[in-house]
């Protein structure tokens, strides 16, 4: 057997909000956690051998603005979540999302003026966001925004603020994908107008992923990621062949939901299909996988 799967290969994405634990209508089987619920859930994942979680906040509408200031509020939801997690589980790796969409009244990952994304002005805000997350104790920051030049700017900003030890997991090849639909429901973060095609990649492009890889390497990325995973296995292989950095893949909400809903209907065997999908992603060249199935898979791997 050439490829193996273990809990240590998995990262569990977790949603957090102000309020009690509640199911997410657009992602059956996932929850929006309270801070308390988040700490408990992350602890259970960690106990199963999952080394890391990645956090996504659902921000109250009243805090969303056109400048997305809440993303660098040190008393905000994510900094509080990071502190609570690191206090309860010091060995758990906490990864944070760097992008403006949960905080932006426009629902875009970047600042918008006259219907256009402002690349460089966005990068400045992203730097403040990442430094705020690092100050709260984040181990790895993961820019999912797809602005140009953000990895280099984040590295400089983190170093200047004394966070040399914080790593950057770059969403290197993040495609403009319809598979993100259920996630946007979970965060209530759909763009109010337009789409994300001016900053996320064209699904028809593979060579462009290598160009993004070269830029991210030059700018100081510690790890590179392909997203979505299943429909982009060729891109995972391509990055694997072209870098010595760790390669991650994100099995996104739509991939999760396709398996989940077919299994709910009794049409496929969930445990087996999940396992096969993840082995396939690893076989293509991913060193680790962000997946909403992480806890479920880790539990079954443990039981074997």
Residues at the interface with ligand PBG (CB under 6 A): 97, 99, 101, 109, 144-145, 180, 183-184, 196, 252-253
Q: H/E element holding 10?
A: strand 10-17
Give 48 or 186: the residue with its C-beta nearer to ligand PBG: 186
- Cα gap 158→145, rounded to integer Å: 17
- Cα gap 288→281, rounded to integer Å: 9
Give 139 or 145: the residue with its C-beta nearer to ligand PBG: 145
- Cα gap 194→180, rounded to integer Å: 15
> In whole angstroms, how close is the CB of 144 to ligand PBG at the nearest point?
4
Q: H/E element holding 204?
A: none
Give 32 or 196: the residue with its C-beta nearer to ligand PBG: 196
- Cα gap 159→94, rounded to integer Å: 19
> In whole angstroms, how close is the CB of 109 to ligand PBG at the nearest point?
5
295 is catalytic: no
- Cα gap 189→145, rounded to integer Å: 13
User: Which residue has the CB atom at the shortest distance from ligand PBG?
Assistant: 183
Give 3 or 258: the residue with its C-beta nearer to ligand PBG: 258
User: Hey, is 101 helix, strand or coil?
Assistant: coil
Residues forming beta bridges with residue 141, ordered by sequence position:
96, 168
Give 9 or 109: the residue with its C-beta nearer to ligand PBG: 109
174 is catalytic: yes
- Cα gap 250→174, rounded to integer Å: 9
- Of the residues 58, 64, 196, 227, only one is catalytic, namely 227
Structure tokens at 73: 């509020």
Structure tokens at 210: 């290598």
> In whole angstroms, how close is the CB of 294 to ligand PBG at the nearest point?
12
> In whole angstroms, how close is the CB of 18 to ligand PBG at the nearest point?
20
- Of the residues 58, 64, 174, 196, only one is catalytic, namely 174
> In whole angstroms, how close is the CB of 256 to ligand PBG at the nearest point?
7
- Residue 25 phi, psi dihedral angles, 5° rounding: -60, -40
Catalytic residues: 174, 227
């Amino acid at each position: 057997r050439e490829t193996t799967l273990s809990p240590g290969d998995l990262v569990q994405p977790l949603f957090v909000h102000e309020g009690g634990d509640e199911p997410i209508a657009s992602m059956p089987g996932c929850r929006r956690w309270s801070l308390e619920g988040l700490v408990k859930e992350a602890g259970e994942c960690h106990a199963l051998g999952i080394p890391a979680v990645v956090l996504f906040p659902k921000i109250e509408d009243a805090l969303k603005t056109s400048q997305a200031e809440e993303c660098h509020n040190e008393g905000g939801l994510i900094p509080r979540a990071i502190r609570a997690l690191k206090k309860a589980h010091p060995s758990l790796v906490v990864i944070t999302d760097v992008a403006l969409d949960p905080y932006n009244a426009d629902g875009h990952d970047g600042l918008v003026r006259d219907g256009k994304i402002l690349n460089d002005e966005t990068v400045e805000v992203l730097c403040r966001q990442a430094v705020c997350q690092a100050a709260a104790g984040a181990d790895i920051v993961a820019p999912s925004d797809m602005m140009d030049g953000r990895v280099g700017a984040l590295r400089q900003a983190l170093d200047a603020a004394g966070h040399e030890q914080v790593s950057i997991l770059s969403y290197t090849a993040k495609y403009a994908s319809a598979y993100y639909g259920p996630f946007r429901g979970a965060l209530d973060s759909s763009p109010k107008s337009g789409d994300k095609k001016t900053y996320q990649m064209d699904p028809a492009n593979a060579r462009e992923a290598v160009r993004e890889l070269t830029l991210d390497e030059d700018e100081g990325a510690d790890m590179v990621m392909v997203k979505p995973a299943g429909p982009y296995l060729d891109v995972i292989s391509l990055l694997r062949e072209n870098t010595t950095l760790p390669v991650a893949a994100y099995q996104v909400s739509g991939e999760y939901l396709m398996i989940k809903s077919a299994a709910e209907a009794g049409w496929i065997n969930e445990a087996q299909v999940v396992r096969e999908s993840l082995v396939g992603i690893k076989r293509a060249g991913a060193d680790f996988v962000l997946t909403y199935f992480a806890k479920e898979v880790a539990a079954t791997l443990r039981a074997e």
